[in-house]
Amino acid sequence: GQARLLELRRKSDGHVLSAVAAASSFVSIEGAAAVIAFPSRQVVSGAVYVTVEAGAFVSKTDQSAFAGVADRSWWFELQAGLGCASMMRGQDEPQAQSGLHSVNISQSEQATTYCDMRFDGAYTLIG
């Protein structure tokens, strides 16, 4: 089947900052919440919003598809520190480090950012 995408977009102009497939390792289910970790090459800050393609999630009880989020209704502010943008290069690792921006789908008013030490080359954005 076709991969259903979740996208982190800049609120001011809709520019896609990061995208992950719903069935990828960047999305996990914890109880009734979906936790999404958006990889990015730069520190994301300011107003952003998340879009979710219809059918990205399916109900466990009746197999009905999630309707999706196509507009700017799920938006929030990210305040990321500059220390999160540390660069790390090695002889065999030419890529810069990326930050992961973790968003809990059940709490639209709150979002947290943190840094992950994996390299860009380890990411599979669309699976």
127 within a domain of the structure (yes/no) = no
pLDDT of 43: 67
Q: How far apart are CA 27 and CA 101, in angstroms?
A: 12
14 within a domain of the structure (yes/no) = yes
Give me the residues of the chain with pLDDT under 50, please.
Answer: 81-127
- Counting the structural domains of the chain, the total is 1
Residue numbers of the domain that contains 83: 5-122
Distance of CA 35 to the CA centre of its chain: 9
Strand partners, 4: none
pLDDT of 30: 80
pTM: 0.63
61: left (phi over 0), alpha (psi -120 to 50) or beta: alpha
**How buried is residue 79: exposed, middle or buried, by Cβ count under 10 Å (0-12/13-18/19+)?**
exposed
pLDDT of 1: 60
Q: Give SS3 for 84.
A: helix
